[in-house]
Structure 1
Amino acid sequence: MWPPSDKTVNRQKKQLLVNMTQLKQAVSLILFFVLLCPTSTFAISIPDELKLGKEYLQLMKNKDVILYDPVAQKMIEIVGNAIVKPLPPQPFHFDFFMVNDDSFNAFAMPAANIFVHSGLIASLDNIDELAGILAHEIGHAVGRHVSQSIDRSKIVATGSLAGMVAGILVGAAAGSSEAGQALSIGSMAAGQSAMLTYTRENETEADQKAVLFLEQTGYSPQGILDSLLKIRQADYQGIENIPDYFKTHPGTAARVSHLSGILADYKPPADKPAPPKNFDYNMVKYRVIGLYGDTDTYIPKIEIALQNDPDNVAFHYGLGLLYGRSTRINEGIEQLNKALNKDPFEPMILLELGRLYISNTEYTRAITILDSMADDPLLGDWAIFNRCVAQIQNGNLPAAEKGLEHVLGSGKPGFEKANYHMAEIMSRQSKQALSNYYLGVYYARIHDEQNAARQLERAIETLDDEKMREKAQNELENLEGKGKKEEGTRIEYFNNFITPHQNA
């Protein structure tokens, strides 16, 4: 959900550590599960890869690690699609996502789902570097490297499969207990040697493809090499100490050497096109830092940077967002106003300034600013959403209700909390049944199934409107169906993969 609630920032930081531990286990479950399974279990057909990609994507969504930031998401899509566009027809549709994680990483998963970590955006310096990394991941997807891994997995011993799956299940059931995690990691190590050589070969192939892809886009292939050099030079929470089988991109030193050789004699084609018009990368970078980066880490860094470059709009913007997430809201407003004075019509600044005015209980001022950008093609719906929050506080419930209906009707991701505010409006209007309905939908969207079921059941019991009661019933059935599917998947994994190996 974007933007993150100020009240939940600390809780989200703690939960993120748990989520990422579980996510590493989940990634390992799929990757190593696939790599260690006999080929008779997992085929490498396109339909099967599509199914695997869909399941993995749903897992990511359920873990709440995908960020639906409209600006960063649009930038990633523009760059990624520019690279994909000149390619010959592909068996999969390419989709791009940003993951809420501070590490310098990106990865491709089955069926051309490409994930970029927020820490990667925060660490790169220009659009060419982002294009280079995306081109590399697209190279993995075009090469169908996951499918090739499945095909070659018959050379890897399968004896540790049962222990690995059991470790994942134990870890998930115990809330990622250390014992469960250790069991899964120990089981994964069995296939390490066979995987690493193959993965490094994939890395080389993906780099070679990336250079070819970038020749047709207008982005410079030098960006791949520059980004790799940053990986080597930077200290990202001890990432170099993580075992190779836990990294998505091993063999960095060899890749740097190989790419340096390729680019030493590289000459861009004479008819190389201009890259598509895009965002100011620095503004997006400091937006990501400001909204999702660690405040204690970045505030002092940007304060020092501003001393050396006091007219830098992106620095003022990022620092304002960081202050806004701490207890320094007035200073955040001051920094955003400084950025706005230098770039008076920038929607990114206007939106966040309006949001900080709401946090500062200056609702009328917030409404005025947000009104000015409600028609913006990218951020207009977010301006309307935040304006509705201010209108609720000002007592203009009809206008807020109309705006929230528009936002929810758009079907865009990230507006989960619009349901919460609709519930608030209904409660203030003494429409308790409708309040229960919207609150139930809100809890369902944030994966709080217990509270969602409770609120939806209350709504079904008390709603007079037949259509709304039917919608509540459908929401409840979807909730129950999801729970049964997850339990069925777990049982299927156990029956199909653990039991046979135990019997063998």
Structure 2
Amino acid sequence: MRFLSRLLAFLALGILAAQPVAAQSVLRDAETEHFLKEISDPLVEAAGLKPGNVEVVLLNDPSINAFVAGGQTVYIHSGLIEAADSAEEVQGVIAHEIGHITGGHILRYGEGAANATKITILSMLAGLGAALAGAGDAAMGIMAAGQQAALGKFLAFSRTQESSADAAGAKYLSGAGISGRGSLSFFGKLLNQEFRYGYSQSDEAGFYRTHPLSGDRISALKQVYETDPAWDKPANARNQRSFERIKAKLTGYIAKPNETLRDYPESDRSIPALYARAYAYHKNARVDRALEAADALLKVDPQDPYFLELKGQVLLESGRPAEAIEPLRKATELTNAEPLIAGLLGHALIATEDRSHYDEAEKVLRAAVGRDRLNPFAWYQLGVVYAAKGDMPRARLASAEQQVMSGQYAFALRSAQAAEAGLENGTPDWLRAQDIGLEARAMLERECEMQRGRNCDRL
């Protein structure tokens, strides 16, 4: 039964992969998203895909991991960014994950699971036949051997997919003119982690792994990378500077303030250190020190929209929304109304409780959700503006948008129905209210099917 338990555990990974982000929070930051898009676009193009159709999403998870889960989205854990030392290491990981996308590996996952399940069922039937014939010990042996064979077949399938993604990733790095040094360096980190935690590199231990042994992967890829024309190409200095900024920013946001201040001491006046300390001080409610760090960054480059965003964020979240408007407005202009920054400006305008700001808030928030509909906070703020201006049908519609994204399907259905009733028939907003209502109802019906005891007639 031990083998069956292992097989079921690995098959369960497929279920988890289908809904991987549900239990993890997405980290959204304009500068980080711009960086991830900038370093992934050349790889996406080298893979023959359209950059706009592939998204790289950062998750708040300390483990060193990245994955795809259907569609064309690459998920990267925050722990991977913290463990990496260069933009090229992150690009190596993204190239590998794009290899899973182009290989259709998530779609083929069921193929490997189905084959393994067939072996398990056949071995159990054969064992049952032996048991009925009175050979109990033989029956147990047949079933155990069959379950081990099934587990081996499934894991071999998984390791084959990983090797295929490694090869594809190497091809895409080469096509984008990016050295494979970063990829090898990151695999070296994984190998060191395996040694640190006592993971055996033996072939016998490798039998139970979903991925090939890191040492084997390094050996195979090294031969490919070292003969590639891009092997000796210098790293992109701009990408590296951007990486160091977003890594420090992430550390300041996630880590405990004392840990951030230890890793980025006051003696370090670099841009990444100032970034990290600004967030650490802000988390500790040391507003003056956080603003001091933000102003030091703006002294280096007064036109950097992300430095302006940082100052505006600190002021806004410290209860000084009126002072936050100017830097956030400038940041919005410099980024051509980047949705996350524009949403923050809209929030600041509303938070002043000055009704003269509401028209501007509506304008910037509508622009923000027009370019990025998956921003529940911006929808919430837009609903506040509509309600304050007495436009309740659109306030209800904005609430429905926010609620359906947050999984509050019953509330979303009611809000959508109320919006539809108050909007003019046939208008874009009226049609959108209908769409949200249909989506929310479908999700509620799905939940009912999964929870049979629930009364679905009330939908």
TM-score normalised by length of structure 2:
0.73
Q: Once the 2 structures are TM-superposed, how far is the Cα of residue 262 of structure 1 from its aligned partner?
A: 5.3
Structure 1 residue 220 displacement after superposition: 1.6
1:156 deviation in Å?
Answer: 1.5
Could you say which residue in structure 1 is the equivalent of 2:218? 256
Aligned to 1:356: 314
Q: Does 1:450 align with 2:410?
A: yes
* Equivalenced residues, count: 407
Kept after mapping to 2: 8 A contact 1:107/1:115? yes
Q: Percent identity?
A: 20
How far residue 189 of structure 1 moved from its aligned partner, in angstroms, is 9.2
CA separation of 1:301/1:189 partners in 2, compared to 1, >3 Å: closer, same or farther?
A: farther
The corresponding residue for 1:207 is 166
| Corresponding residue of 1:478 | 439
Q: More deviation in 211-220 or 147-156?
A: 147-156
**Paired residue secondary structure (2:332):** coil
- Asked whether 1:344 is paired with 2:302, we answer yes
Aligned with 2:95 (options 121, 129, 135):
135
Distance 2:296 2:49 in 1: 47
Deviation at 1:448, TM superposition (A): 1.5
Query: Does residue 114 of the first structure (1) align with residue 100 of the second (2)?
Result: no
State the secondary structure of the residue aligned to 2:156.
helix
Paired amino acid for 2:15: L
CA contact (8 A) 2:112 2:157 kept: no
Counterpart residue number, 2:178: 219
1:115 alignment partner, SS class: strand
- Whichever residue aligns with residue 289 of structure 1, its letter is T
Question: What is the SS of the residue equivalent to 2:334?
Answer: coil
Aligned to 1:419, the other structure's residue is in SS state helix
What letter corresponds to residue 291 of structure 2 in structure 1? Answer: I
8 Å contact 2:62–2:79 — kept in the other structure? yes
Partner Cα separation in structure 1 for residue 110 and residue 435 of structure 2 = 38
SS at match of 2:244: helix
Q: Partners of 1:470 and 1:85 in 2: how far apart?
A: 35
Distance change in 2, residues 1:261/1:284 (3 Å): same
Instruction: In structure 1, give the amino acid aligned to 2:245.
Output: M
1:84 positional shift = 3.3
Per-residue CA deviations over 1:142-161 (Å, capped at 9, x if unaligned) read: 44445665555564234879
The aligned runs of 1:372-383 (5 Å cut-off) are: 372-377=330-335, 380-383=338-341
Unaligned runs of 5+ in 1: 1-23, 32-55, 162-187, 492-504
Measure how far apart 1:113 and its partner are: 3.8
Are 1:194 and 2:153 counterparts?
Answer: yes
In the alignment, residue 376 of structure 1 is paired with which amino acid?
L
Q: Which residue of 2 aligns with 1:371?
A: 329
The Cα of 1:324 is off from its aligned counterpart by 2.7
Q: Does 1:416 pair with 2:376? A: yes
Of 399, 408, 429 in structure 2, the residue corresponding to residue 439 of structure 1 is: 399
1:28 maps onto 2:17 in alignment = no
Match of 2:268, SS? coil
> Partner residue of 1:79?
39
Partner secondary structure for residue 114 of structure 1 = strand
Cα distance, 1:99 vs structure 2: 2.9
**Paired letter, 1:125:** D
For residue 277 of structure 2, what is the aligned residue in structure 1? 319
Higher relative contact order (CA 8 A, sep 6+): 1
Tell me the CA shift for residue 115 of structure 1: 2.3
Partners of 2:435 and 2:174 in 1: how far apart? 50
Amino acid at match of 1:404: L
Change in CA separation of 1:474 and 1:85 when aligned onto 2, cut-off 3 Å: closer
- Structure 2 gaps, min length 5: 1-9, 122-146, 453-459
Contact 1:324 1:332 in 2 (8 A): yes
Rounded Cα–Cα distance in structure 2 between residues aligned with 1:216 and 1:273:
16
CA contact (8 A) 2:412 2:436 kept: no
SS at match of 2:74: strand
SS in 2 for 1:116: strand
Check 1:99–1:464 CA distance in 2 against 1; reply closer, same or farther (3 A cut): closer
Deviation track 1:386-432 (CA, whole Å, cap 9, x = no partner) reads 2222221221222212222222222x144211221122223334444
Letter in 1 for 2:185: D
